[in-house]
């Protein structure tokens, strides 16, 4: 049995990520993305919820539920076709491990049933990086939120952005990332996934956030 190199500690910050086994696609359509987003919210509780049953209820938005005892706080996230990234800190001992186990188990069950699959979906255990400096932690916000750029400009890091205005508009419209929450004043229901008060206040306004992101894109606003 493999032993995780990082021991998660309350009050510290971590970058979590995982991808499909053999780089396989794990999100095929809108419903897949939405289901995983729902898990980011509903699995963040000491209580147990039947996510499938809740999502089947008419006239109910799962993000309106009140989560009283959270396992973790999430500062940023992005879902890509074959992987995901989460910026996280735990609120209680083993909170991260419990949270990620709940998400992984629920999503694999959903995926295998929907696509008539068996076996492992993810590439082993989720990976983690300890964010031990302000510079590293602040950088991860940009790293996570710029991930979708690869979907429209695969080699942007090596060759630069081809169309900077188009790239920024794409990021603002990408529904499966918290970029849209930071730039739209946290007004959509999915913003409830985030608990930004438990992270350093690097971006007191959306203009501060834009400035940081645009700096990495080398785009003057």
* DSSP string covering 131-149: --SHHHHHHHHHHHHTGGG
Q: Evaluate if residue 36 carries a pLDDT over 70.
A: yes
- Is 125 domain-assigned? yes
In the three-class reduction of DSSP (H, G, I as helix; E, B as strand; rest coil), residue 199 is classed as coil
Encoded tokens for 176: 């499966």
Give the Cβ contact number of residue 58 at 10 Å. Answer: 4
Whether 90 contacts 10, CB under 8 Å: yes
> What CATH number has the domain bearing residue 132?
3.30.70.1290
- Is 9 domain-assigned? no
In the three-class reduction of DSSP (H, G, I as helix; E, B as strand; rest coil), residue 37 is classed as helix
Average pLDDT, the chain: 90
- Is 8 domain-assigned? no
Q: Environment class of residue 4 by beta-carbon count within 10 Å: exposed (0-12), middle (13-18) or buried (19+)?
A: exposed
pLDDT on residue 221? 44
Number of alpha carbons in the 13 Å side-chain half-sphere of residue 123:
14
- Is 7 domain-assigned? no
- Is 58 domain-assigned? yes
pLDDT in tens, 46-85: 887 766 666 666 666 888 888 889 999 999 999 999 999 9
Nearest to 177 by CA among 38, 87, 79: 79
Encoded tokens for 29: 């359509």
Query: Measured between alpha carbons, how far is 7 from 1 in angstroms, rounded to an integer?
Result: 16
Query: Measured between alpha carbons, how far is 129 from 74 in angstroms, rounded to an integer?
Result: 15
- Is 4 domain-assigned? no
In the three-class reduction of DSSP (H, G, I as helix; E, B as strand; rest coil), residue 115 is classed as helix
State the total domains in the chain: 1
- Is 185 domain-assigned? yes
Number of alpha carbons in the 13 Å side-chain half-sphere of residue 89:
16
Domain that holds residue 74: 14-217
pTM listed for this prediction: 0.92
pLDDT in tens, 121-174: 999 899 999 999 999 999 999 999 999 999 999 888 888 888 888 899 999 999
pLDDT on residue 7? 83
- Is 3 domain-assigned? no
Query: Measured between alpha carbons, how far is 219 from 133 in angstroms, rounded to an integer?
Result: 26
């Amino acid at each position: 049995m493999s032993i995780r190199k990082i021991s998660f500690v309350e009050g510290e910050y971590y970058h979590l990520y995982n991808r499909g086994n053999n780089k396989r696609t794990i999100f095929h359509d809108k419903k897949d993305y939405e289901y995983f987003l729902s898990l980011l919210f509903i699995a963040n509780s000491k209580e147990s919820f039947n996510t499938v049953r809740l999502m089947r209820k008419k006239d109910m938005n799962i993000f309106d539920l009140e989560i009283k005892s959270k396992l973790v706080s999430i500062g940023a996230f992005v879902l890509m076709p074959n992987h995901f990234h989460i910026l996280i800190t735990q609120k209680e001992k083993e909170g991260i491990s419990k949270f990620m186990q709940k998400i992984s188990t629920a999503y694999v069950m959903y995926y295998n049933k929907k696509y008539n699959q068996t076996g492992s979906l993810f590439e082993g255990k989720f990976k983690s990086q300890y964010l031990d400096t302000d510079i590293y932690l602040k950088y991860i916000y940009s790293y996570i939120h710029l991930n979708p750029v690869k979907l429209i400009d695969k080699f942007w890091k090596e060759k630069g952005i081809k169309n900077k205005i188009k790239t920024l508009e794409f990021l603002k419209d990408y529904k499966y990332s918290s970029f849209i929450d930071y730039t739209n004043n946290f007004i959509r229901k999915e913003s409830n996934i985030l608990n930004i008060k438990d992270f350093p206040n690097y971006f007191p306004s959306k203009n501060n956030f834009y400035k940081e992101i645009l700096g990495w894109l080398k785009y003057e606003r």
